Chain A
Amino acid sequence: MSAITARPRLWPVRLRSTPTVAAVATVVLAVYLVVGLIGPLLIAYDPVATSVADRLLPIGAVRSDGTVALLGTDGAGRDMLGQLVYGARTSIIIGISVVAACLAVGLAFGTLAGYLAGWTDVAISRLIDILMAFPGILLAIVIAGLFDRSMLVVVLALSVAGWVGFARLARGLTLSLRERPYVDAARLIGVPTPVVIVRHVVPFVIGPVTALATTEFAGAVLSEAGLSFLGLGLPSATVSWGQVIANGKDYLDTAWWISALPGLALTGLVVSTGLLGDHLTQRLGTSR
């Protein structure tokens, strides 16, 4: 891979993606998954219940009812640990939903455009060009702003432009795959086009596309946090790290932990996903 193929990176520092780095990233991701999926079953947390007596407790302080606030409380007296754990679940659900939707749409459009060529390709490629002309996050902000806040709207808003990357990758790979003799052989035999695509093209597109999915997951998690930070994301009954960070921004001097902890959690998730994505891209992305 050369510098020419540089794509936008989610973090400024270049961390070389060695197998060790990838292994560490995988372990970190596994921890996030366990915390996000099992944590909410173990910890009770009610985002609406506030407690004036327990406002702005620092890390490890004792609450008025005698329990320990391990990671402190926020400006409304809500438990920080609970918010981090429930926020992890939200991020994971959003990330997976967005990536699944984008992957399905992008794979379908990309392989169709690449395989059928002609007008189908022109139409899909123009649509991709148009969507690429807008910054994705701007498009997401507009769409999220138009509708009531809900999980579905956030997933849709982030998917509208998110599938484009998958489609471009799938199209490019398909363009070269369709020239393979075994694809010609299938066409000669008369295998129906959808079957040719599914059996002789898609299996060879899946690897690189999966690598991209990892990177896109990081982007989706970050964008959701951004939307929620702006108050355009999830309804306030759903915990989102972006919202928690926004809640803490008035207390940066006095209660740093409210913004810093979810910020750290977000960074850890995004960076380790990105590192794993880089590794997978190196492993699967160039294999044909």
Chain B
Amino acid sequence: MSASPLVQVSDLVVNFHTRRERRRGSAPNAVDGVSFGLSADETLAIVGESGSGKTTVARCVVGLQAHQEGTVMFDGAPVGPVTRRSPATRRAIQMVFQDPAASLNPRMTVRSIIAETWRTHPSAAPDGRTWDAAIDELLADVGLDPDVGTRRATALSGGQCQRVSIARALALRPRLLVCDEAVSALDVSVQSQILRLLAGLRAARGLAILFITHDLGVVRQIADRVAVMHRGRLVETATADDLFERPGHAYTRKLLAAALDLEGA
């Protein structure tokens, strides 16, 4: 790992307590002291069961969720909520969401969805060629035909929607891509297509990826390192190979055993 990681999350604490819970101090935190680093062109997977706080961590990193304690550093500087970030930082961190269809405004065409990113960040807009040509190229990068450009999200399949989501994120040439269960809603063959696409893009563009999933099979395909989350805490961080060969924490072993059960069944 390089000396200074691209993303450094330290002692992150998030809770969604109601006022009464806060007074009593009884309810657990959704995220409870999470720390990890992610270097440029590395893929870190965060795994854990439902409700363990994975999405909350991801939303803190991109700035959609406020945290009570801790810091999120990007490129050596602390970053706050997305509205207070500099345009350059906003450009550099993009996200792909879990629900493919809901990630795209159903009233907008794919073309206008992608063009919106360039209208917001003129510095990322293609120069030397028309936007239409650049959009076609971007769609080709994520494995879509140019004719998808004129369609709306309602006329696309889940896998196509997710590719458009990825294209929208890539249009800004980000340095960090956060994928929250980005393939969970897709069937297995489309899943591996998208995973291969992400791996290819990562190699071609030097992209850091924070990959949230509850699927250990997916982790094996894409991750360099894995962080295991359980009830708001990181219980283990290891390289992907180590994790599958020599799981350290009891919870990780349980997770692996459960996954094996599923495969065997």
Interface residues of A (CB under 8 A from B): 180-182, 184-193, 199-200, 203-204
Interface residues of B in 84-108 (CB under 8 A from A): 85, 87, 90-91, 93-95, 97-99, 102-105, 107-108
In the complex, residue of chain A having the shortest beta-carbon distance to the beta carbon of B81: A187
A118 to B104, CA, bound (A): 26
Binds A, one of B13-21, B113-121, B197-205, B248-256: B113-121
Interface residues of B in 63-100 (CB under 8 A from A): 63-64, 82-83, 85, 87, 90-91, 93-95, 97-99
Verify A188–B120 contact, CB threshold 8 A: no
Q: 28 A-B contacts, Cβ less than 8 Å apart?
A: A181-B99, A181-B103, A182-B103, A182-B104, A184-B64, A184-B95, A185-B97, A185-B103, A185-B168, A186-B105, A186-B116, A187-B64, A187-B82, A187-B83, A188-B62, A189-B90, A189-B121, A189-B168, A190-B85, A190-B87, A190-B90, A190-B120, A190-B121, A191-B116, A191-B120, A192-B120, A193-B83, A199-B105
A184 to B104, CA, bound (A): 10
How would you classify the secondary structure of chain A's contact residues: helix, strand, loop or mixed? helix
Q: A186-B116, A188-B82 are in contact. Are A180 and B102 (CB under 8 A)?
A: yes
Does B135 sit at the interface, judged by CB under 8 A? no
A193 to B117, CA, bound (A): 14
Does B31 sit at the interface, judged by CB under 8 A? no
A187 to B99, CA, bound (A): 17
Interface residues of B (CB under 8 A from A): 62-64, 82-83, 85, 87, 90-91, 93-95, 97-99, 102-105, 107-108, 116-117, 120-121, 165, 168, 172
Q: Which 10 A-B pairs have the closest CB atoms?
A: A181-B97, A190-B90, A181-B103, A182-B105, A181-B102, A203-B107, A189-B120, A189-B117, A191-B120, A190-B120
Q: How far is the CB of A184 from chain B (nearest CB, A)?
A: 6
What A residues does B103 contact at CB under 8 A?
A: 181-182, 185
Q: How far is the CB of A55 from chain B (nearest CB, A)?
A: 60
Verify A184–B97 contact, CB threshold 8 A: yes
Q: How far is the CB of B57 from chain A (nearest CB, A)?
A: 15
Q: How far is the CB of B59 from chain A (nearest CB, A)?
A: 8
What A residues does B168 contact at CB under 8 A?
A: 185, 189
* Interface-centre pick from A181, A187, A189, A200 (highest chain B CB count, 10 A): A189
Verify B172–A189 contact, CB threshold 8 A: yes
A189 to B64, CA, bound (A): 11
Q: How far is the CB of A210 from chain B (nearest CB, A)?
A: 15
A203 to B87, CA, bound (A): 27
A282 to B44, CA, bound (A): 48
Verify B93–A188 contact, CB threshold 8 A: yes
In the complex, residue of chain B having the shortest beta-carbon distance to the beta carbon of A201: B105
What B residues does A184 contact at CB under 8 A?
A: 64, 95, 97
A180 to B98, CA, bound (A): 11
What B residues does A189 contact at CB under 8 A?
A: 90, 94, 116-117, 120-121, 168, 172
What A residues does B102 contact at CB under 8 A?
A: 180-182
In the complex, residue of chain A having the shortest beta-carbon distance to the beta carbon of B108: A199
What A residues does B64 contact at CB under 8 A?
A: 184, 187-188
A193 to B82, CA, bound (A): 12
What A residues does B107 contact at CB under 8 A?
A: 203-204
Verify B95–A188 contact, CB threshold 8 A: yes
In the complex, residue of chain B having the shortest beta-carbon distance to the beta carbon of A200: B105
What B residues does A192 contact at CB under 8 A?
A: 120
What B residues does A187 contact at CB under 8 A?
A: 64, 82-83
Verify A185–B95 contact, CB threshold 8 A: yes
In the complex, residue of chain A having the shortest beta-carbon distance to the beta carbon of B168: A185
What B residues does A199 contact at CB under 8 A?
A: 105, 108, 116
